Amino acid sequence: MLITFEGIDGSGKTTQLRLLKEYLEERGRKVIAIREPGGTVFSENIRELLLYSEENISPRAELLLFESARAHLVETLIKPAIEEGSIVLCDRFYDSTMAYQGYGRGIPLEEVKSCNMTATGGLVPTLTFYLKLDLDESRQRAKYRQHDRIEQSGNDFFERVIEGFAKIAEAEPRRIIVIDASGSIGATSIAIRNHVKRIL
């Protein structure tokens, strides 16, 4: 089973993924928690390039780097883990590419979709939580951190990303659960657990 967490930077994905992992492990489930881009040595190296390159990266080069990191992660870690019965929790997956590179950077959505398909081999998450938070609140939460290359993309970019996530969620209401992430960490966690309980 693959469960993914999506949302803009600082929406609480990492926090909620950690809490869900604890909850599932307490119930005896084998859980693998990973992040995108990353999760393997190769994909973490690509993450470094993507987030900390001092040279500007062109939108299509950026798209292909995310997909390359994903292709390796899916083949070497996610698919084998699912096959052995683990629950894989992934901090971001291909919906982020659609939102950031498609809606955010303006690469035609059909192109992004096709690249996502190539990278995942058609793997679709069982469930996706979209942690919905407005830009002001997300900036507030992330204000004491150093911002990476993508986080420096500006408010217009992030407004397009937020609009993109809304459209992506609207198109697949069975897979993508929209969670109001503006409440407390505890309230958000309970909302997520209640959905997960239904599919265990």
**According to the binding rule CB under 6 A, does residue 15 interact with ligand T5A?**
yes
Q: Say if residues 129 and 16 touch (Cβ distance below 8 Å).
A: yes
Query: Count of residues binding ligand T5A (CB under 6 A)?
Result: 24
Query: CB-wise, 24 or 164, nearer to ligand T5A?
Result: 164
In the set 3, 31, 34, 36, which binds ligand T5A (CB under 6 A)?
Answer: 36
Contacts to ligand T5A from residues 51-90, by CB under 6 A: 66
Sign of CA dihedral 13, 19, 23, 24: positive
Question: Does residue 102 touch ligand T5A according to CB under 6 A?
Answer: no
Helices (H), the chain: 13-26, 41-52, 59-73, 79-83, 94-97, 109-120, 135-141, 155-171, 185-199
Instruction: Report how far residue 59's alpha carbon sits from residue 155's, in angstroms, rounded to the nearest whole number.
Output: 17
Window of 30-38, 75-83, 107-115, 120-128 that interacts with ligand T5A by CB under 6 A: 30-38
Q: Please check whether residue 34 is in contact with residue 78, taking contact to mean a CB–CB distance below 8 angstroms.
A: yes
According to CB under 6 A, which residues from 124 to 143 bind ligand T5A? 141-142
* Of the residues 43, 46, 73, 97, which one makes contact with ligand T5A according to CB under 6 A: 97
Nearer to ligand T5A, 28 or 184 (CB): 184
**Distances in Å between the alpha carbon of 29 and those of 56, 86, 93, 186?**
42, 7, 22, 21
Q: Are 98 and 164 in contact (CB under 8 A)?
A: yes
- State yes or no: residue 116 binds ligand T5A (CB under 6 A): no
Q: Contacts with ligand T5A in 159-188 (CB under 6 A)?
A: 184-185, 188
By CB under 6 A, name the binding residues for ligand T5A.
7, 9-15, 35-37, 66, 92, 96-97, 100-101, 141-142, 150-151, 184-185, 188
